[in-house]
Chains A and B, each alone.
Chain A
Amino acid sequence: MKFQLTEDQRALRDGVRQLLTRRFDAEALRAAVDAPGLDRGLWRALGEAGFFALRLPEADGGVGLGLPEAVLAFEEAGRALLPGPLIATHLAAGEVAGAAEGETVVAAVDGSGLVEWLAEADVVRGDAAGAVPLRSVDPLTPLHRVGGGAAVEPVAVLLTAAEQLGTAGRVCELAVQHARTREQFGQPIGAFQAVKHLCAGMLVRTEVARAAVYAAAVTADRTDIAAARLLADEAAVLGARDCLQVHGGMGFTWESEVHLHLKRAWVRARRGGASTESEELLAADLVA
């Protein structure tokens, strides 16, 4: 048992992080908020880097890697708040022409009866007839409501958990950076126990979620995935809230990055029929 990232996995994670830092930094994030719309150039760059074809066999033109690698890539996407129907397109690679290369944008009807990025999609999987747009809480995730939902693949649940893990780690970093530098009462606010304990709680939730998400990626077991999802949702949503609290008044402004993390975490937490389904699955496991 060597439940640690391999050298290759570290390299992959660092590579994705570098790509996203280059192509979607804080400035690009602000620009995307001001002018919503999917960046097709970025989508193709992700395709070229193998983001969508990561799990496609090499014989089919893919990268031929597995779920653990996909989880690391989606964790980075979550950290960077990368917008777009990333999971739907990733899952369509090899099935929908152009998805693997990032030429085709694929959206999908979700278990909760929502579709993300419907208007920008070239292909929609599931029945999106009569879709009605909502005023989405997340400025970077346009949403439509449709009549029925669709069954959600466990892999989609796991990749969402990976994105949540990315957010959880990132908001912890943002909170710690702010707590180290922001001074009040003549010292950095991070010297106050009340602030310290908020930050410690964020790290604890993140690391517990990380172990659950990575293990679920290794086993691909449905119950493990359900557990990973619950802990990652918790780490992302509570983490973003605590990060906002640590930022004080600044955290409540539109200019701060924090609200974008919280809003995206809320959107992701509703995917696939929300947490109650995972809770029921885990309850059923106890009496199996």
Chain B
Amino acid sequence: MDLTYTPEEDEFRARLREWLGKVLPTLPPKPSPDDWPARRAYDLGWQRMLYDAGYAHVHWDASPTVRLIFLEETEKAGAPYVGAGFVGLLHAGPTIAAEGSEEQRARWLPPILRGEEVWCQGFSEPDAGSDLAALRTRARRDGDDYVVSGSKIWTSHAEVADWCELLVRTNPAAPKHRGITWLAMPMDAPGITVRPLRTLAGSAEFAEVFLDEVRIPVANRVGDEDDGWRVTMVTLSFERGTAFVGEVVACRRVLRELAGEARKNGRWDDPVLRRRLGRLNAQFRALWRLTQWNVSEAESGVPGVGSSVFKLRYSQARQELYDTAADVLGADCLDLDRPWMLDRLSSLSYTIAAGTSQIQQNIVAERILGLPKGR
């Protein structure tokens, strides 16, 4: 068991830190979360800076440890996260890289890396959330096109996306995991309607996407027809234990800020609250160690089963963190202009998004512990 980094990794960290110190002060201020075009421009601008400095590829071909260092350092420095580049960099891009043709890779990958095109994810549907394979958006073949009708929901960045990685049902007769196809849909195609979806946090972070006889060239299909489930699953585990690195680092920072606030407002003298903060410190330290464990495991080539374990605990700890923040603030926690209180609302999605905690518990019980399938 070794927690030290190689000289090359230390050097990467030092170089990155130096670069961040130089470029971050030149970044324009973060745009308002409601201004989607401005957010798109800001996030793509950041990706372009990473590209020019040689860091654009880090999510794709760096080792898991180097990714861990990259995410840790960028979060610590307060750099922007991938933002609007999320789906392209962390999902659609890797999928195309792994399963696309030479031509498809040449068309779609460079603009993602250079921060020129935004992708969104057309997976979830109103009747297919955690049970993703129950999706019903259908596509029929018509000459060189697929003609697609249906609707998608919880689509982040749909309003400003250029492309959508779309899962469609091409064979309704096949078993539900088999009749699905992966398509790259241009978001300016006729028949697409995007409707912003206001969340309980008050902002429109997501959208519903309605598809009415949208024509998508067959050439935009990645992988074989009806093989989209496999194509998708190949890359769902892409992040290899590093999916939450930046967020754990951020939570540890918030925890220190909370302790500082409690010292200022006198609540630090309450031993119950103080010990709760201590216990949260233990949780986030442990989650950081589990991240290092999972990254090391990924590096030894073992496929990680750890992501469900991690996500279950992390999503719960994050909600506890912001509930504790509310107690640090006292009655001020009802004021949405106070720090952390919008994050408290956002954290409610963590036990729902990307497979609810209940589904994750089933995955842990069945795939890791080997308990029988059932209802």
If A3-B296, A196-B362 touch, whether A280 touches B374 (CB-CB below 8 Å) is no
Q: Which of B225-233, B274-282, B333-341 contacts A (4 or more CB under 8 A)?
A: B274-282
- Chain A residues near B370: list those with CB within 8 A: 176, 180
Report the Cα distance A276→B275, complex, angstroms. 7
Task: Tell me which residues from 129 to 160 in chain A have a Cβ below 8 Å from any Cβ of chain B.
Answer: none
Indicate if B133 sits at the interface (CB-CB under 8 A): no
Main secondary structure of the interface of A (DSSP, over half): helix
Does chain A have a CB within 8 A of B332? no
- Asked whether A209 is an interface residue with its Cβ less than 8 Å from the other chain, the reply is yes
Are B2 and A3 in touch, CB under 8 angstroms? yes
In-complex Cβ contact of B3 among A3, A176, A187 (8 A): A3
Is A226 among interface residues, defined by CB-CB distance under 8 A?
A: yes
Contact present for B282 and A230 (CB under 8 Å) = yes
A203, CB-defined interface residue at 8 Å? yes
Complex: A9 Cα to B1 Cα, angstroms: 8
Q: A188-B372, A282-B281 are in contact. Are A208 and B1 (CB under 8 A)?
A: no
Interface contact A193-B285, CB-CB below 8 Å: no
Is there contact, CB below 8 Å, between B65 and A1?
Answer: yes
Interchain CB contact under 8 A, B277 and A286: yes
Given A1-B3, A208-B287, A193–B375 Cβ distance below 8 Å?
yes
- Count chain B CB atoms within 10 A of each CB in A195, A279, A287 and give the residue with the most: A279
Chain A residues contacting B368 (CB-CB under 8 Å) are: 203
Q: Which residues of B contact A209 (CB under 8 A)?
A: 286
Contact A203 B369 (CB under 8 A): yes
**Contact string against A for B residues 285-309, beta-carbon threshold 8 Å, 1 for contact and 0 otherwise:** 1110110110111011000001001
CB proximity to B under 8 Å, residues A1-45: 1-6, 9
Contacting residues, chain A, for B9 (C-beta < 8 A)? 1
Q: Residue on B with the closest CB to A9?
A: B1
Chain B at the A interface: mostly helix, strand, loop or mixed? Answer: helix
A201 in the interface (beta carbon within 8 A)? yes
Establish whether residues A212 and B286, one from each chain, have CB atoms under 8 Å apart when the complex forms.
Answer: yes
A217:B275 contact, CB within 8 angstroms: no
Query: Smallest CB–CB gap between B316 and chain A, Å?
Result: 9
Nearest CB of chain B from residue A194's CB, rounded to whole Å:
10
Known contacts A6-B1, A227-B281, A287-B263; is-contact A208 B297 (Cβ 8 Å): no
Minimum CB–CB distance from A87 to chain B (whole Å) comes to 21
Question: Any chain B CB within 8 A of the CB of A103?
Answer: no
Contacts of A9 in B (CB 8 A): 1
Residues A200 and B312 in contact, CB atoms below 8 Å apart: yes
On whether A287 and B293 interact (CB within 8 A), knowing A176-B371, A199-B371, A227-B285, the answer reads no
With A199-B365, A279-B278 as contacts: A1 and B2 at CB distance below 8 Å: yes
Question: Which B residues from 318 to 375 make CB contacts under 8 A with A?
Answer: 358, 360-362, 364-366, 368-375
Across the interface, name the chain A residue whose C-beta is closest to B364.
A200
Contacts of A223 in B (CB 8 A): 285
Q: Is the CB of A212 within 8 A of B365?
A: no
Q: Please list 15 pairs of residues, one from A and one from B, whose beta carbons are closer than 8 Å in the complex, sorted by A's number.
A: A3-B1, A3-B3, A3-B296, A5-B1, A180-B371, A191-B374, A191-B375, A192-B374, A193-B361, A193-B375, A214-B293, A217-B1, A228-B286, A286-B256, A287-B256
Name 14 extra pairs, CB < 8 A, besides A195-B371, A217-B1. A1-B9, A1-B292, A1-B295, A2-B2, A4-B296, A193-B362, A200-B364, A203-B368, A207-B306, A208-B283, A230-B282, A282-B277, A283-B275, A283-B281
- Measured CB to CB, the residues of B under 8 A from A are 1-6, 9, 65, 255-256, 258-260, 263, 268, 271, 274-275, 277-279, 281-283, 285-287, 289-290, 292-293, 295-297, 299-300, 306, 309, 312-313, 358, 360-362, 364-366, 368-375
Residues of A whose CB lies within 8 Å of any CB of B are 1-6, 9, 68, 172, 176, 179-180, 187-188, 190-193, 195-197, 199-201, 203-205, 207-212, 214-215, 217-219, 223-224, 226-228, 230-231, 276, 278-287
